[in-house]
Amino acid sequence: MDILKDEKKQSLVEKDQQNVWHHMSRHEKNKSPIIGTDGKGSWITDHNGNRYLDGMSGLWCVNVGYGREELAQAAYDQLKQLAYMPLSQSHVPAIELAEKLNDMLQDDYMIFYSNSGSDANEVAFKMVRQYHQQNDNPSKRKIISRYRAYHGNSAGALSATGQAQRKIKYEPLSDGFLHVSPPDNYRRPSGQSVEQHNLQCAEELEKKIIWEHPDTIAAVIMEPTITGGGVLIPHRVYVEKVQEICRRHGVLLIIDEVICGFGRTGKLFGHMHYDINPDIITMAKGLTSAYLPLSVTAVRKDIYEAFKKDGDVNHFRHVNTFGGNPAACAVALKNIEIMENENLVSRSSVLGERLYNGLQELMEHKNVGDVRSQGLLFAIEIVNDKKTKEPASSALLSKVIGECKANGLIIAKNGDTVAGFDNILTLCPPLASTDEDIDFIISVVKKAFKTVN
């Protein structure tokens, strides 16, 4: 082996440890992260030449896979032609993308661009509060979310997030955010059907609105499926009941599609599994497959009308320097074209079923309480005892994750969410994965669980 190459590799590790503060990572002396150098399809290569199937699509986002030269070319072409234009004005890719998104949503929305999912949700919160003020309902300012849900890391988005471990040492955050229980079908009360449990959770939301007084509630925000909090998939009766409750009390419904959107759940958008029409939809991640930062807050046009009123402070006074960058919009358009040409939404459903069927034998393992999925969004809930459903320790999950990594597969868990309930392994492979990729995931995960006695 080339000594100089080895020295360069060691230098990279040392420089990383000396200079890079890693996201969501505890400090461990001499710990070396995967230092990625190349990616193709569902696979990434590190600085040592090791290859890994990225079973998490980065952070739930590289939907069309790595190494898409046509996305790089779209960015390059746009950067050459027009690298920047603030959206206090406009540019062609932003216009074309907004039109395309309305076609995909099969509805009539105004599209507001930002950089990230957190940004998109912050924009939504400001919009709903201003909307109610301009409709002579100034007391409607509170926003309801669900425990275990994640909506971002910025102050308002983290306030909406229902994961206490994300908030410790950062509070006080923004006020006016309330939380209710999500439907957790695996842990529903004994004797309750899934439908009964979901209706009960919806009724809890309505009670919260009534007890706080409907005149104080501006909006409800929810992911179609809670993702990072453990992949909690609701029964359709819950989602449709939530919309009914919101409409009855004059509360706007914000659907967070940051992870669930763009084919991840086997539908174009997660909310399309249900008969609902959201007032506001936020999206990011799969919008560009993470090739460039871009997010969207899509707002129904009847809501947008309230911002047309005359007056110095009646327009939406929010600006984002990089939001809707021309190159990012161009990449999003090309990304959507790839998804359509390769039928990646239906492919997500087909591959999801293949992966689900392949992992079913895990249910025989003494520590596997539940395997659940929607499209290519997966959770394996690990318990110490199947009867009591006592959550397993982080050490046990780390063992499975480590075994998968040692065999060339990256998976994750719902860490830093809710104390005692970080016991869920997650899988979220690219929608462009091959049948062979899915079979590889199945074989490695099953092998990893054989090491857990």
**Residues 325-331, mean pLDDT to the nearest whole number:** 98
Residue 451 has pLDDT above 70, yes or no: yes
Tokens 């029409």, residue located? 277
Instruction: Return the pLDDT at 30.
Output: 72
With CA atoms as reference, report the closest residue to 319 among 27, 136, 122.
122
Instruction: Return the pLDDT at 4.
Output: 45
Close Cβ partners of 279 (under 8 Å, ≥ 6 residues apart): 219, 252, 253, 254, 299, 300, 303
Instruction: Return the pLDDT at 6.
Output: 72
Rounded to whole angstroms, the Cα distance separating 428 from 60 reads 6
Residue 2 has pLDDT above 60, yes or no: no
Q: Can you list the domains of the chain with their CATH numbers?
A: 3-64+343-449 (3.90.1150.10), 69-341 (3.40.640.10)
Tokens 């990256």, residue located? 410
Instruction: Return the pLDDT at 3.
Output: 45
pLDDT digits 0-9 by tens, 280-295: 999 999 999 999 999 9
pLDDT digits 0-9 by tens, 211-259: 999 999 999 999 999 999 999 999 999 999 999 999 999 999 999 999 9
Half-sphere exposure of 94 (CA within 13 A, CB side): 23
Instruction: Return the pLDDT at 11.
Output: 87
pTM of the model: 0.96
With CA atoms as reference, report the closest residue to 378 among 358, 364, 396, 398.
358
392 secondary structure, DSSP code: P
3-state helix, strand, coil in the chain (%, to 5): 45, 15, 40
Rounded to whole angstroms, the Cα distance separating 246 from 239 reads 11
Cα dist from 334 to 37, 68, 107, 290, 328, whole Å: 24, 10, 21, 13, 10
Q: How confident is the model at residue 29 (pLDDT cuts 50, 70, 90)?
A: confident
Rounded to whole angstroms, the Cα distance separating 95 from 387 reads 55
Residue 409 has pLDDT above 60, yes or no: yes
Cβ burial of 277 (10 Å; 0-12, 13-18, 19+) is middle
Provide the 10 A C-beta neighbour count for residue 388. Answer: 9
Rounded to whole angstroms, the Cα distance separating 24 from 152 reads 13
Rounded to whole angstroms, the Cα distance separating 115 from 386 reads 42
Please, which residues bridge with residue 46 across strands?
36
Encoded tokens for 172: 């006080």
Q: How confident is the model at residue 169 (pLDDT cuts 50, 70, 90)?
A: very high
Instruction: Return the pLDDT at 453.
Output: 74
pLDDT digits 0-9 by tens, 352-370: 999 999 999 999 999 999 9
pLDDT digits 0-9 by tens, 124-161: 999 999 999 999 999 999 999 999 999 999 999 999 99
Question: Do β-strands 377-385 and 390-391 pair in parallel, antiparallel, or remain unpaired?
Answer: antiparallel
Rounded to an integer, what is the distance from CA 27 to the centroid of its chain? 25
Instruction: Return the pLDDT at 170.
Output: 95
Rounded to whole angstroms, the Cα distance separating 209 from 215 reads 9
- Mean pLDDT in the chain? 96
Residue 177 has pLDDT above 50, yes or no: yes
41 secondary structure, DSSP code: B
Q: How confident is the model at residue 165 (pLDDT cuts 50, 70, 90)?
A: very high
